[in-house]
Amino acid sequence: MTKSAIEEFVVQFWGVRGSVPSPGFGTIRYGGNTSCIEIRAAGKRIIFDAGTGLRNLGKELEGQSNLELHMCFTHYHWDHIQGLPFFEPLFRAGNRLHVYGQVPEEVRPMSLKEHFYQRVLHANSPIPVAQLEADLVFHELTCGESFNIGDAAISTAPLNHPNGAMGYRVSWQNKAIVYCTDTEHFPDHLDENILNLAQDADILVYDAMYTDAEYHDPKSPKVGWGHSTWEEGVKITKAANVRKLAVFHHEPNHSDDMLDKIAADLAEKCDHSFLAKEKAIASVFD
């Protein structure tokens, strides 16, 4: 039976690639848009990151008015903000967008609002910022703090990424979805911040940009690039007693066929795991 909007607790994937959009015949099945997911919980629509996948979410909402949306940023690298100027609800009067995020240390004491208008909505944006008609409300976060969006409880934790990033846990009705993208594992221990955030979660969306072989490739190692592997995601999943692992932030050069191979390898190592695909929906109740 389909749950009503107030009863559902799901994650929908709108952009699943890392670093740069990768459209083409080889990325049709998994998708080529950059990071953007939507968690629907307690009747609220909570968007995480604003990569190019955000444009397609905006198209789903096109023409709707009096929307109240919540957008949480992990960080502000290009692949996590590129879709913002093309998000249709921003250009409709009567809509309200709550913006949550941490101000990068290097631009403080700039406020989140100043940072958003001056650096996220960059001067090079092809869309005039002056044309934004939605009401924007800013909620400046400190990494590690918790807050609420309606009845949904949100926890945060620092991630291991160049210039910093923030992971999120959304909890409601004793269920939880965790979003930890753009983080690099440690060579000698599991990341305690992620373990604590993900403990007993129903779904963990994890940055698994590389395979272990790619990460340690002596000809082109990826150590220090700020990303992890699906094998490390499996370790976190098992150590934190996570029910489902969603492999996310796919390497832009990974074709659908290669991702199919990774999915098959993943299935042998971790039950109820899957690779994120654009527009796919995963529910905590499944």
Contact 50, 86 (CB under 8 A): no
Residues β-bridged to residue 97? 69, 136
Q: Domain residues for 223?
A: 9-283
Cα separation of the two ends of the chain: 12
4 domain-assigned: no
DSSP 43-105: TEEEEE--STHHHHHHHHHTT--S-EEEEE-S---GGGTTTGGG-GGGGSTT-EEEEEEPPPG
Among 77-91, 110-124, 234-248, the least confident range: 110-124
AA identity, residue 278: E
* Residue 3 in domain: no
Strand 274-275 relative to strand 281-283: parallel, antiparallel, unpaired? unpaired
Answer whether residue 25 is part of any domain. yes
Q: Model confidence over 245-264: pLDDT tens digits?
A: 999 999 999 999 999 999 99
On whether residue 2 sits in a domain, the answer given is: no
> What is the side-by-side strand order in the sheet with 68-72?
135-140, 96-101, 68-72, 44-48, 36-41, 9-15, 281-283
Count structural domains, the chain: 1
Please tell me the predicted confidence (pLDDT) of residue 2: 54
Q: What is the pLDDT of residues 66-85, one digit of tens each?
A: 999 999 999 999 999 999 99
Q: Is 223 helix (H, G, I), strand (E, B) or coil?
A: coil
Q: What's 13's domain CATH number?
A: 3.60.15.10
Residue 164 Ramachandran class (φ > 0 left, ψ -120 to 50 alpha, else beta)? left
pTM of the model: 0.96
216 within domain boundaries: yes
